[in-house]
């Protein structure tokens, strides 16, 4: 038995028991272990030891071969996975209709809003609308300058009617 362990035994027992009891317990253990030493167990046969060593020697190359095979299979699997993913990646880029050649600009406002199905009609409507606005501006200026000699109420009524007419027209709805 380890001397170091024996030395610590009393100390260990003293953690749980009083010094006298601890010493008695250590003595019990030491005497019992002396009995164990006096009655040694049989030794293993030399043949058994030789067989064990032979079996270990036999298992070692097998183990090495297994480890080598295992590593090879792992490497092959990893290589296959990389090749597969590369092939998929290349395939995707080649077939892609949009190549990332440069920056593309676009408006966030749908172009349909600015477009008109009938450009000529839209231009004519715009011309009429501009003329009406100009006419209203002239009338307002006349009113502000006090040059209108007619009835002021009737002028306002006329303006209101023109605004209602503009409002009711559909040209700006597209």
Partner 1 sequence: MAKTDDLAQIIIGCKNRDSKCFSQIVDMYASRCYGYFYRLTVNKDLSDELLSELFVKLVEKIASYKGGSFDGWLFKIAANIFHDYLRSKQRRKKLLDVQKEQLESHFTEPKQSNNEQIDKLQMQLTRLDTDTRELIMLRFYSELSFKEIAQMRSEPIGTTLAKLHRGLKKLRELMR
* Closest by Cα among 57, 174, 55 to 112: 174
The C-alpha atoms of residue 59 and residue 61 are separated, in whole angstroms, by 6
Considering the complex, state which of residue 65 and residue 87 has its C-beta at the smaller distance from partner 1. Answer: 65
- CB distance 128 to 108 below 8 Å: no
Place of tokens 């092939």: 87
Considering the complex, state which of residue 15 and residue 99 has its C-beta at the smaller distance from partner 1. Answer: 15
Considering the complex, state which of residue 4 and residue 147 has its C-beta at the smaller distance from partner 1. Answer: 4
Judged by the rule CB under 8 A, the positions of this chain that interact with partner 1 are 1-2, 4-5, 8-9, 12-13, 15-16, 25, 28-29, 31-33, 35-36, 39-45, 48-49, 51-53, 55-57, 59-60, 63-64
Nearest approach, Cβ of 50 to partner 1 (angstroms)? 10
125 by Cβ neighbours in 10 Å (0-12 / 13-18 / 19+) ranks as middle
Nearest approach, Cβ of 84 to partner 1 (angstroms)? 32
């Amino acid at each position: 038995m380890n001397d170091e362990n024996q030395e610590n035994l009393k100390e260990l027992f003293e953690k749980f028991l009083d010094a006298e009891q601890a010493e008695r317990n250590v003595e019990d253990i030491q005497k019992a272990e002396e009995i164990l030493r006096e009655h040694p167990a049989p030794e293993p046969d030399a043949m058994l030891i030789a067989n064990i060593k032979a079996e270990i020697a036999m298992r070692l190359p097998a183990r090495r071969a297994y480890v080598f095979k295992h590593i090879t299979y792992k490497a092959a699997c990893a290589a296959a996975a990389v090749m597969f993913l590369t092939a998929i990646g290349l395939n995707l880029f080649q077939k892609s209709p949009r190549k990332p050649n440069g920056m593309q600009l676009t408006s966030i406002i749908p172009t349909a809003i600015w477009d008109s199905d009938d450009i000529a009609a839209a231009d004519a409507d715009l011309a009429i609308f501009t003329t009406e606005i100009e006419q209203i501006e002239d009338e307002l200026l006349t009113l502000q300058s006090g040059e209108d000699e007619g009835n002021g109420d009737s002028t306002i009524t006329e303006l209101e009617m023109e605004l209602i007419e503009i409002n009711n027209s559909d040209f700006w709805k597209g």
